[in-house]
């Protein structure tokens, strides 16, 4: 019998010397939500993140810190592992490019490319940005007032002249275009797909894939004077983690990756170079690359010099973990740039979470606690209004699934909150507190319908807010086996008479500290 369907998704591997900020937290969060969703939906998921540890930028940072690069990366890689526990990410693996499994994988990939005649020795003379770890053509650069050459990203470039191996990227132009055309969902959002196609159509030059003027990298097999270009090294992490060069086992199971999630600044590497390397090696390209946007802070670009870089710890400490996770995915259409503002964060916490969702749960469960013997109420026949609300609750999964699969996290949350709104209106219309005296049996039905609705809401909010949702499911006395999407709908309905624990608030309001 075939096993469950698989889903393999990855974050970029972060430059190990970067200090984790809201941007890193955001990319991995989107993947975490998707990974959790797919697991609840019955998929066998592999979710990968990690750190990118070679290259000139890391070598320079290690020099500055006065320690050997390996010691330096061992130390700072921990920052990204700490981010995993801080943000409650559920990655299945954390890869570091200095690990032996990765060195073996990249060298094997190189050897295949070399043997297939896709890599040749030449010499490079041109502009390189250490900050971006990228080569630039003269025509892409501007000149600063001080006479420095500046890349479109704002990074300074230096002139590099050295022997170098080249990958025959120019030979892949037509095959890349054919690949994009045959796979219209490969690059998302659609606007980005157009940009990439225009870039490839404008002509591709062969890509320098080795360096000789510094040492911190993976040696080129058979030519120790060269180390590999850090992007060839880094991109290969995605196949290392599934066991390459062994192409049986996990590779056979999970490759091609279903999704590489990236920031829009590194789309070109993932959507042009990476599929070309893979196709050239006779391997399958990934299924999809999604380029998301950037955060500004209170309307301003985040930068060290403005001192407005937000550490994820600050967000979690100030607003709470699930609140932060919710805000980041609800506030901005995924794929667009977004603005982080304290005011909006507080609006979301107090509006969507405390008032709308939290209050619904609290009101319903405390009425059940007080009036139904602290057990799931016994429902009578359902009215049209009851069936309408239950129908909306049952119907959420298909809508949310379609949105999540398109990485439209904001729309998925909108669909869930539409039902939160329906449920709140239903409470007001049915007024179960008034039924208590006039028609206790009807009150029990109304509260049952509401408890069922809350069950569906909490099952569906698990990927975004795992802790808070688990607490709500605990309050409904649902065990671990009753929390997957298989329990969605009437087949998983709450059993009347099940004793319930005493209700606790799940979403506190955010109260401003009085100004000192
Ligand atoms: N290290 C790169 C970055 O942080 C991503 C590499 S993904 C293969 O931008």
Three-class SS of 182-205: HCCCCEECHHHHHHHHHHHHCCCC
**H helical segments located in 1-52:** 22-40
- The dihedral through the CA atoms of 139, 141, 142, 143 has a sign that is negative
How high is the mean pLDDT of the chain?
A: 96
Query: Mean pLDDT throughout 477-503?
Result: 97
The number of the ligand 1 atom at minimal distance from the alpha carbon of 51 is 1
pLDDT tens string 423-436: 999 999 999 999 99
Task: Write 491-496 long-range contacts (CB < 8 A, 24+).
Answer: 492/455, 493/452, 494/376, 494/448, 494/451, 494/452, 494/455, 495/376, 496/375, 496/376, 496/377, 496/378, 496/379, 496/448
Residues 6+ apart with CB under 8 A from 305: none
The four Cα atoms 104, 107, 109, 114 give a dihedral, to 10 degrees, of -160
Is residue 341 within 8 Å of 298, Cβ to Cβ?
A: yes
Mean pLDDT of 311-338: 97
Unique residue bearing structure tokens 């946007």: 293
pLDDT in tens, 59-109: 999 999 999 999 999 999 999 999 999 999 999 999 999 999 999 999 999
**Average of pLDDT values for 115-136?**
94
- Residue 1 is predicted with a pLDDT of 53
Evaluate the CA torsion angle 100, 101, 102, 108 in order and state its sign.
positive
What is the C-alpha separation between 36 and 47, in angstroms, rounded?
9
Q: How far is the CA of 307 from the centre of ligand 1 (A)?
A: 23
Closest CA to 458 of 447, 467, 449: 467
Identify the pLDDT of residue 234.
98
Cβ–ligand 1 contact at 48 (below 6 Å): no
Residue 497 reports pLDDT greater than 70: yes
For a mutational test of ligand 1's pocket, the pick from 26, 28, 52, i.e. the residue with the most ligand atoms closer than 8 A to its C-beta, is 52
Residue 1 exposure: Cα atoms within 13 Å on the Cβ side: 2
**Quick one: pLDDT at residue 305?**
80
Residue 16 pLDDT exceeds 60: yes
Please count the other Cβ atoms lying within 10 Å of the Cβ belonging to residue 102: 25
The closest residue, in CA terms, to atom 7 on ligand 1 is 12
Query: Does the Cβ of 261 fall within 6 Å of ligand 1?
Result: no
Q: Give residue 50 CA to ligand 1 midpoint distance, Å.
A: 10
- Report CA(453)–ligand 1 centroid distance (Å): 42
When comparing pLDDT for 367 and 512, which is higher?
367
User: Cα of 176 to ligand 1 centre, how many Å?
Assistant: 22
Bridge partner list, 46:
8
Q: What pLDDT is recorded for position 302?
A: 86
Token couple for 223: 């030519």
Q: Which atom of ligand 1 is nearest to the CA of 238?
A: 8
Q: Please name the residues in contact with 146: beta carbons below 8 A apart, sequence gap of 6 or more.
A: none
Which of 234, 262, 274 best tests ligand 1's pocket when mutated (most atoms within 8 Å of CB)? 234
Residue 28 alpha carbon to ligand 1 centre in Å: 12
Distance from residue 238's CA to the centre of ligand 1 (Å): 12
Q: Contact, 412 vs 404, CB < 8 A?
A: yes
Angle at 316 between CA 312 and CA 321, to 5 degrees: 120
Q: What is the mean pLDDT of residues 240-246?
A: 98
Q: Given a cut of 70, is residue 516 above it in pLDDT?
A: no
User: Does residue 15's CB lie within 6 angstroms of at least one atom of ligand 1?
Assistant: yes
243 to 31, 218, 236, 260, 496: CA distances (angstroms) = 21, 18, 11, 17, 49
d(CA 261, ligand 1 centre) in Å: 11
Q: Give distance in angstroms: CA of 149 to centre of ligand 1.
A: 23
- Ligand 1 near 14 CB (within 6 A): yes
- Check pocket membership of 232 for ligand 1, CB cut-off 6 A: no
Cα–Cα distance for residue pair 123/49, rounded to 1 Å = 34
Ligand 1 centroid distance, CA of 49 (Å):
11
Question: Could you tell me if the CB of 286 is within 6 A of ligand 1?
Answer: no
Q: Is 234 in the pocket of ligand 1 (CB under 6 A)?
A: yes
Q: Output the six-digit token pair for 155.
A: 């990074």
List the beta strands (DSSP E) in 436-507.
Answer: none
Concatenating the DSSP letter of every residue in 119-179 gives EEEEEEEEEEETTTTEEE-GGG-EE-TTS-EE-TTS-EEEEEEEEEEEE-GGGGHHHHHHH
Ligand 1 pocket mutation, candidates 231, 266, 291, criterion most atoms within 8 A of CB: 266
Query: Is the shortest distance between the CB of 235 and ligand 1 below 6 Å?
Result: yes
Distance CA 223, CA 217 (A): 13
Secondary structure tally for the chain: helices H, strands E: 20, 18
Distance of CA 354 to the CA centre of its chain: 25
Could you give the CA distance from residue 441 to residue 203 in angstroms, rounded to a whole number?
A: 73
Percent of the chain whose pLDDT exceeds 90: 95
Compute the distance between CA of residue 10 and CA of residue 33 in angstroms, rounded to an integer. Answer: 12
Question: Which among 86-100, 289-303, 500-514 has the top mean pLDDT?
Answer: 86-100
Sign of CA dihedral 405, 411, 413, 415: negative
* Mutation pick for ligand 1 pocket among 9, 11, 13, 272 (CB with most ligand atoms within 8 Å): 13
pLDDT in tens, 374-406: 999 999 999 999 999 999 999 999 999 999 999
- The number of the ligand 1 atom at minimal distance from the alpha carbon of 266 is 9
Ligand 1 lined by 52 (C-beta under 6 Å): yes
The pLDDT of residue 480 is above 60: yes
With a 6 Å cutoff on the Cβ, whether 12 touches ligand 1 is: yes
Range 475-479 average pLDDT? 98
| Angular region, 249: left φ>0, alpha ψ -120 to 50, beta rest | left
227-242 b/e (C-beta count within 10 Å ≥ 16 → b): bbbbbbbbbbbbbbbb
Q: Is 55 near ligand 1, meaning CB less than 6 Å away? A: no
Q: SS in 3 state form for 239-275?
A: HHCCCCCCCCHHHHHHCCCCEEEEEHHHHHHHHHHHH
What strands lie across the sheet with 295-297, from one edge to the other?
Answer: 300-301, 295-297, 338-340
Name which residue sits closest to atom 3 of ligand 1, judged by CA. Answer: 14
Q: Report how far ligand 1's centroid is from the alpha carbon of 18 (Å).
A: 10
Q: What is the pLDDT of residue 400?
A: 98
Kindly tell me the burial class for residue 506, based on how many C-beta atoms sit within 10 Å of its own C-beta (0-12, 13-18, 19 or more): buried
Closest by CA to 125, choosing from 162, 150, 156, 151, is 162
- The number of the ligand 1 atom at minimal distance from the alpha carbon of 52 is 1
Rounded CA-CA distance 270/293 in Å is 15
Q: From its phi and psi, is residue 196 left (phi > 0), alpha (psi between -120 and 50) or beta?
A: alpha
- Total residue length of the chain: 516
In which band, very low, low, confident or very high, does the pLDDT at 4 lie, cut at 50, 70 and 90? confident
């Amino acid at each position: 019998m075939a096993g469950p369907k698989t889903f393999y998704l990855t974050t970029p591997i972060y430059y190990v010397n970067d200090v984790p900020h809201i941007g890193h937290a955001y990319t991995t969060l989107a993947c975490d939500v998707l990974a959790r969703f797919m697991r609840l939906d019955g998929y066998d998921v592999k979710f990968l993140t990690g750190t990118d540890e070679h290259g000139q930028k890391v070598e320079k940072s290690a020099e500055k810190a006065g320690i050997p690069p390996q010691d330096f990366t061992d130390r700072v890689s921990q920052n990204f592992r700490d981010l995993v526990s801080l943000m409650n990410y559920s990655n299945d693996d954390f890869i570091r490019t200095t690990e032996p499994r990765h060195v073996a994988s990249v060298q094997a990939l190189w050897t295949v490319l070399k043997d297939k005649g896709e890599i040749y020795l030449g010499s490079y003379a041109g502009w390189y940005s250490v900050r971006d770890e990228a080569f630039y053509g003269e025509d892409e650069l501007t000149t600063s007032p001080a006479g420095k050459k500046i890349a479109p990203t704002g990074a300074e470039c230096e002139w590099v002249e050295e022997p170098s191996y080249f990958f025959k990227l120019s030979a892949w132009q037509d095959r890349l275009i054919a690949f994009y055309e045959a796979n219209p969902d490969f690059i998302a959002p659609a606007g980005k797909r157009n940009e990439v196609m225009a870039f490839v159509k404008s002509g591709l030059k062969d890509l320098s894939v080795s360096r000789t003027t510094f040492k911190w990298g993976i040696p080129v097999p058979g030519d120790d004077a060269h180390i590999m270009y850090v992007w060839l090294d880094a991109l290969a992490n995605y196949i290392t983690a599934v066991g390459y060069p062994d192409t049986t086992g996990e590779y056979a199971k999970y490759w091609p990756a279903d999704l590489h999630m990236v920031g829009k600044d590194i789309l070109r590497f993932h959507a042009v170079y990476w599929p070309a390397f893979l196709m050239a090696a006779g391997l399958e390209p990934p299924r999809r690359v999604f380029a998301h946007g950037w955060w500004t802070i209170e309307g301003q670009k985040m930068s060290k010099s403005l001192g407005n870089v937000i550490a994820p710890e600050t967000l979690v400490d100030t607003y709470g973990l699930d609140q932060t996770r919710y805000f980041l995915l609800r506030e901005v259409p995924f794929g667009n740039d977004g603005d982080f503002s304290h005011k909006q964060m507080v609006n979301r916490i107090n509006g969507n979470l405390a008032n709308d969702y939290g209050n619904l749960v609290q009101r319903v469960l405390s009425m059940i606690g007080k009036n139904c013997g602290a057990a799931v109420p016994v429902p009578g026949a359902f009215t049209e209004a009851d069936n309408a609300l239950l129908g909306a609750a049952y119907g959420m999964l298909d809508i949310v699934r379609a949105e999540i699969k398109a990485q439209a996290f904001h729309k998925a949350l909108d669909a869930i909150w539409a039902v939160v709104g329906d449920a709140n209106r239903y409470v007001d219309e049915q007024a179960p507190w008034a039924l208590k005296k006039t028609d206790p049996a009807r009150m029990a039905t109304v509260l049952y319908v509401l408890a069922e609705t809350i069950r569906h809401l909490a099952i569906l909010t698990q990927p975004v807010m795992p802790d808070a949702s688990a607490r709500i499911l605990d309050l409904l006395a649902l065990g671990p086996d009753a929390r997957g999407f298989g329990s969605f709908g009437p087949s998983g309905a709450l059993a009347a008479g099940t004793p319930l624990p005493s209700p606790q608030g799940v979403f506190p309001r955010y109260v401003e500290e009085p100004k000192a």
